[in-house]
Structures are given as C-alpha cells and as structure tokens.
Amino acid sequence: MIQSLLLAATFGISIGMFVFALRASCVRRFERDVAWLEHTLWRFSPSPKPARPYVVAAYIFSFSLLAVLLIATRNPALSAIVWTIVVVIPRLYAERAWKKRKAEIEEQLPEAVRQLSSGVGSGLSLAQAIERLAIRAPMPIRTEFFVVSNYWKLGADFTTSIEDAKRRLELANFNLFASAIVVNHHMGGNVTATLDRLATSLESIARMRRDIYAATAEGRMNIKVLAVAPFLMLGLISFMDAEAVGMLFTRPVGQAILGFCVMLTGIGTYWAWQIVKSDV
C-alpha cells in the first residue's frame, strides 16, 4: 500500500514538473484541442455548448487513467499502449460518426431539393420553403436547414448563412446546391426551374454513386478477407505449432519478420482500398 502511494505521488510530481517545464506547449495543445472539440460540436449541433470544460474534464480523466494503469499493471509500456488507445478512440469515433452523418445528408439532399422546388413552386418564398424543410425534412439534413433558417431569422445575410453551412458540411453536392441558390438569389431568375434541374442532377449523381458502390462490393469484401486472413492463419498455425509461432514474438528476427509482414499487409490493404473507393 505504501509503495503504491509513493508510486502515485512520484508520478504526480513528475507530471507536474513536466507540465510546468512545457507549459507553453501545453497551452498551445490545449487550445488546439478546444478548437477541435468546438468544431466537432459545431458540426453535430446547431447550438453547441462551450468546449473548454469538456477538454479539462478529458485531461483529468486521461491523466487519472494513466496513473491507475501504471499502478495496476506496473508495466509502463503496456500502460502507455492502453492509454493511447483509450485517448485516440473518441476522436476516431467522432470522425466516423461525422462521416456517416455526411453520407446520410448527401443521400437525403436530392429529395430535399425536390421538396424545396415544390414549396417555391406552390407560392412560398425561398425562406419559407427552407423553414418548412427545417420542420418536415428527415434527420440529419433537417438540422442543417434548421441552422440556415435560424441564422436568417436572426438577421444574418442569406449568402452568409449558406456559406456557413458549406464550411460545416464540406460536401461537393451541397456546395453545388448552395452555389446555385446563391447565384440565383443575386442574379435572379426562375428559382423553381433551377431547383428542378439541380434535383435531377443530384439524383443522377446519387444513382451513379450507388452503381459504383454495387460494382465494387466484391472488391471491398475481398480486401476485408485478405486483411484478416494473415491473422487467422497465424492463429490456426499456433494451434499446430505454438512454439514456432511463439518465436515470432520472442526472438528479434521473428519480431522483425512479424513487423515486416504487418507493414506489407497494411500497405497492400490501404492501396487496394484506395482503388475500390471510387467516388463520383
């Protein structure tokens, strides 16, 4: 018990001295993390909360977790690996969730533009049609129109509201839609015809994207099988000759061979995935 307390105290003092010595770098890192979290919350929510308290809480949790791992495992290398995985996972999850959200918005955009065209054609103004979409459109695209509508109601310029949505989403099809709306807003013309042509174009792009996705389905499955196969074979061979497989992890030459194989598998999987990951 005393040894554990001394270890924890030593760890805490070391962390404090390290942070004090690199306080300028730590402040810059903190500001970068706050900026990343603010941007992430802004992308998901029309009214994001302040990010600083969450970043401070994440820092406290991270350092506490590292201290617990060091005390529990008494293995600095293992503790560092587990701690790094736990710290990295939230960012990976957030980026994956944002990628999924963007894909859903892109899939819903053609129908939303078609509804916008119908609303304008029935006598509504463009602002009223967008406001109606902010109520009736499915999630998550409803949130984006809700943000645009709210900015407009609060006095923001129409172009500014649309450009803000473009920066948040970073979607090629939404950029096309936003550019068409902004140009028509400034230059005038038949809004209904513009939206109808745009909806038709977006539906064609979505149809081509689905065709490409279906055509590359077999290739994606082959890549997944090839990526997992070496590890399955290694596990199968370990049942037949555990001593030989053990040398891959205990001998320097075996570790070098294992690392080289993992590197080749990773490079091959990456480039194969880039080939089948075609986009329109």
pLDDT band (50, 70, 90) for residue 259: confident
Same domain, 110 and 207: yes
Report yes or no on 92 lying in a domain: no
Q: What is the average per-residue pLDDT within 229-239?
A: 81
Q: How confident is the model at residue 144 (pLDDT cuts 50, 70, 90)?
A: confident
Residues 258 and 241 in one domain: yes
205 and 264 together in one domain: no
271 domain residue, yes or no: yes
- Same domain, yes or no: 145 and 51: no
Of 15-24, 108-117, 172-181, 239-248, which gets the smallest average pLDDT?
Answer: 15-24
In a domain, 85, yes or no: no
Tens of pLDDT, residue by residue over 84-129, are 777 778 778 878 888 888 888 888 888 888 888 888 778 777 778 8
Q: Is the pLDDT of residue 10 over 80?
A: no
Check whether residue 11 and residue 32 sit in a common domain: yes
In this predicted structure, the answer to whether residue 62 has a pLDDT above a threshold of 70 is yes
Q: How far is CA 229 from the centre of its chain?
A: 27
Residue 31 dihedral angles phi and psi, to the nearest 5°: -65, -35
Residue 169: per-residue pLDDT: 80
Q: Within this chain, do residues 210 and 220 fall inside the same structural domain, yes or no?
A: no
pLDDT of residue 238: 80
The mean pLDDT of 235-263, rounded to a whole number, is: 79
36 and 6 in a common domain: yes
**Within this chain, do residues 210 and 116 fall inside the same structural domain, yes or no?**
yes
Instruction: Out of 199, 214, 229, pick the residue that ends a domain.
Output: 214
Of 39, 74, 109, which one is at a domain's C-terminal end?
74
Q: Which of 171, 193, 214 is the last residue of a domain?
A: 214
Assess whether 132 and 59 both reside in one domain: no
Q: Is there a contact between 219 and 276 (Cβ–Cβ < 8 Å)?
A: yes
Specify the CATH number for the domain of residue 166.
1.20.81.30
Question: Is residue 148 included in any domain, yes or no?
Answer: yes
Q: Is it the case that residue 271 has pLDDT exceeding 60?
A: yes
Based on the domain organization, do 225 and 236 belong to the same domain? yes
d(CA 237, CA 80): 30
83 within a domain of the structure (yes/no): no
**What is the reported pLDDT for 52?**
78
| 59-64 long-range Cβ contacts below 8 angstroms, 24+ apart | 59/30, 62/86, 62/87, 63/15
Q: At what angle do helices 23-44 and 2-21 cross, to 10 degrees?
A: 90
Number of Cβ within a 10 Å radius of residue 96 = 10
Confidence of residue 3 (pLDDT cuts 50, 70, 90): low
- Is 163 within the bounds of a domain? yes
Confidence of residue 18 (pLDDT cuts 50, 70, 90): low
Domain of residue 242 covers 216-276
| pLDDT at residue 1 is higher than 60 | no
39 compared with 91, residue with greater pLDDT: 91
Q: Is the per-residue pLDDT at 279 higher than 70?
A: no
pLDDT of residue 8: 62
Residues 257 and 171 in one domain: no
Residue 260 lies in a domain: yes
Indicate whether 159 pLDDT > 70.
yes
- Band (pLDDT 50/70/90 cuts) for residue 27 is confident
Average pLDDT over all residues of the chain: 77
CA distance 277 to 45: 29
pLDDT at 280: 53
C-alpha distances in Å from residue 224, one per residue of 10, 34, 98, 155, 172: 46, 36, 23, 50, 28
Evaluate whether residue 94 is within a structural domain: no
- What is the mean pLDDT of the segment spanning 247-258? 78
| Share in percent of the chain as helix, strand, coil (round to 5) | 90, 0, 10
**Residue 205 pLDDT > 70:** yes
Cα–Cα distance measured from residue 36 to residue 165, given in angstroms and rounded to the nearest whole number: 18
Per-residue pLDDT at 48:
64
Q: What is the pLDDT of residue 231?
A: 81
Residues 197 and 106 placed together within one structural domain of the fold: yes
Asked if 164 and 185 touch (Cβ cutoff 8 Å), the reply is no
Q: How confident is the model at residue 223 (pLDDT cuts 50, 70, 90)?
A: confident
In whole angstroms, give the CA distance from residue 208 to residue 16. Answer: 56
Q: How many domains does the chain have?
A: 3
